[in-house]
Amino acid sequence: MSEKTEVWQGTLALMVLRTLETMGPQHGYGLARRIEQTSGDRLQLNYGTIYPALLKLEQEGYIRSRWGASENHRRAKFYELTKAGLRRVKKATAEWEQTTEILARFLAPTEEA
């Protein structure tokens, strides 16, 4: 079993936005667990990682929050995408697809002449 890894700089915001786009409104704990699950449990997110990212995304206008009840009837803050967030997730997805395509060229086995 491999160790869990740190979240790469600049990727957490995209993971949060994409998860909200796919799943709809989620509370912070649920978001963190879903990101871990989607990573095949290779990532581990804690409160010190997810909540500052959520606060920053909210301050930037990409998500908004509201209070509600979680599945176990506890008070929880739910986050959802704004229109600006939807535009941002589409742009960030395209940027990361381009970046991974470029990196794949460097990581591909080379043919020797």
Does 57 map to a domain?
A: yes
Domain presence at residue 89: yes
Number of domains in the chain: 1
pLDDT number for residue 110: 77
pLDDT exceeds cutoff 70 at 1: no
Asked if the structure places residue 6 within a domain, the reply is no
Q: Residue 112: its pLDDT value, please? A: 59
Does some domain include residue 4? no
Domain that holds residue 94: 12-107
3-class SS letters over the chain: CCCCECCCCCCHHHHHHHHHHHHCCEEHHHHHHHHHHHCCCCECCCHHHHHHHHHHHHHCCCEEEEEEECCCCCEEEEEEECHHHHHHHHHHHHHHHHHHHHHHHHHCCCCCC
Q: Does 3 fall in a domain?
A: no
Q: 101: domain CATH number?
A: 1.10.10.10
Residue 5 in any domain: the answer is no
Q: Express each pLDDT in 17-60 by its tens digit.
A: 999 999 999 999 999 999 999 999 999 888 788 999 999 999 99
pLDDT digits (tens, 9 = 90+) for 67-83: 999 888 899 999 999 99
